[in-house]
Amino acid sequence: MRIDELFLSGRPLLSFEFFPPKDAAGEAQLMQAVDELRPLNPDFVSITRTGGGTPPTLDLTLRVQRELGFLSMAHMTCAGYTAEEMGGYLDALWDGGGHNVLALRGDPPAGQSTFQATDGGFAYANDLVAFARARHDFCIGVAGYPEGHPQSLNPERDLENLKKKVDAGATFVVTQLFFDNADFYRWRDGAAKMGIDVPLVAGIMPILSVGQIKRFVMMCGAKIPQPLLLQLESLESDPVAVAAAGVEHARRQCEDLLANGVSGLHFYTLNRSKATALIGQVLQRK
């Protein structure tokens, strides 16, 4: 099954993102989260390239699909791999029954501010998209940035780069997390003007703690709307209240996105289920 085929129904898709656990405790937490989110019937799940690199990502992607019955998508990044190595990983994924890939450039190594392509590898995500498309008949998703990629010179150049990925063979886009829907709508309009006509899936991450969200904002460049930031900081001494406010904001985000024709909602779960389950249950009752 290909993810892009699911968009043909015309309904918004629901998906969750997980990462490969580093140890037995992490694996237990992940399996518990997956089990608790099962009643929401996600259309697909994605597995990030973390926790040791591509092999764990492939293993978990195929395991979740084979043993747990979720259509799964593996994250593949240019960072750290030659074309030959990537070809082997793509072959292993395809042969194992994994036909969905999220093609990413990847982040610079820790301590470095700029990305350097691996010798014999790929410099840009659109190169990886074209390579994967030629290797097998994958369904390929790519990343989008409603507030612009942190290293992009301006929004128009960022959308030009997204268009290159779509032209290379990407069939849908999953966005970086964002907290202000106005940014998404502005970006969606810009993408349409650029001729990008594939489904655009909104990336949602419920805020569970002030410290957590400040770290994520520093890493990805997303901004927190001033009223929400002031609310969270006023509640910082009460973790339960912060989490409740974060979940409520995400719920309102999702309702507004659905009312305005979003192609899908993609939850960054951090391998936890409570916040995503609460939002999903509310949305299912609408």
CA distances from 20 to 56, 62, 64, 255 (A): 6, 12, 11, 30
Q: What is the DSSP letter of 8?
A: G
Backbone phi, psi, residue 147, to 5°: -105, 10
Helix or strand or coil: residue 69? Answer: coil
Between CA 267 and CA 264 the distance in angstroms is 10
Helix or strand or coil: residue 175? Answer: strand
Between CA 48 and CA 258 the distance in angstroms is 25
Residue among 149, 189, 142, 201 at smallest CA distance from 167: 142
Active site (annotated) includes residue 233: no
Cβ-Cβ contacts under 8 Å for 128 (sequence gap 6 or more): 76, 77, 78, 86, 103, 104, 105, 122
Choice among 17, 156, 236, 248 that is catalytic: 17
Identity at 277, one-letter amino acid code: A
Residues with catalytic roles = 17
